[in-house]
Structure 1
């Protein structure tokens, strides 16, 4: 009789920083999966950004390739699961005012941002947003 034991799945360690001012926008969480699954290869020190509109404000998302090639996974296409974990962490733990924030998975090569702002996609932001 052979016994196979799967290694327990360990959630990645997510580090995040919450913004402390700006537009309140907890509704941005609904766009996380779409954003994270839409990312393509990003060259080192470059980024990709995408904006989504809600009825009252916009949600700006970004993925920045800012860590070395020795990061896990290596730079290139961001890991969607890392992106989702990080941005869900921002949405769920920056709950005090829901200003958004940014973070990364420990050892990962990318930083992900979620930033609610006044206005709609394609419009200039109001000063101080």
Structure 2
């Protein structure tokens, strides 16, 4: 026969599930490499949301293909962003995975780098800030 669990036993189980479930469901950003030359990646952080949001409005990216955007930073350098489909079928990059990965790159790689979300992230994201400016079809902060 089963006995009815006490209120305290049920609360202990509920609290335990509340704490454990988010931890088990979390994804982690894997930085695969940091660049050693270029300019400070922190100057590109204001463009992350724009780049990642643009991934939803493009055609699906085929396996091994990529899409990229270049932004001119007000400090006189450029920010090259790339999303490459490394696994799976043609799809669009998930904005949250893009934002999480690129934000981690800014925090952990002073000169930019590349990484992906694990497990299950099919895209590798890169931020490569460099001297100079982008071509004529670019977005400049403030425009």
- The normalised TM-score by structure 2 is 0.71
Correspondence for 1:65: 85
| 8 Å contact from structure 1 (residues 90, 100) kept in 2 | yes
Correspondence for 1:108: 121
Unaligned runs of 5+ in 2: 1-13, 137-143
CA-to-aligned-CA distance 1:43-79 (integer Å, 9 cap, x gap)? 1110000011112101000000012x2xxxx650111
Note the aligned Cα RMSD (angstroms): 2.3
Unaligned runs of 5+ in 1: 124-129
**Higher helix residue share:** 2
Counting matched residue pairs gives 115
Q: Of 82, 95, 116, which residue of structure 2 is paired with 1:80?
A: 95
SS at match of 2:22: coil
- C-alpha change, 1:93 and 1:25, in structure 2 (3 Å) is closer
SS at match of 1:58: strand
Correspondence for 2:42: 26
Distance 2:133 2:36 in 1: 21
Distance 1:88 1:58 in 2: 17
- C-alpha change, 1:53 and 1:23, in structure 2 (3 Å) is same
- The normalised TM-score by structure 1 is 0.78
For the pair shown, which has the larger CA radius of gyration, 1 or 2?
Answer: 2
SS at match of 1:104: strand
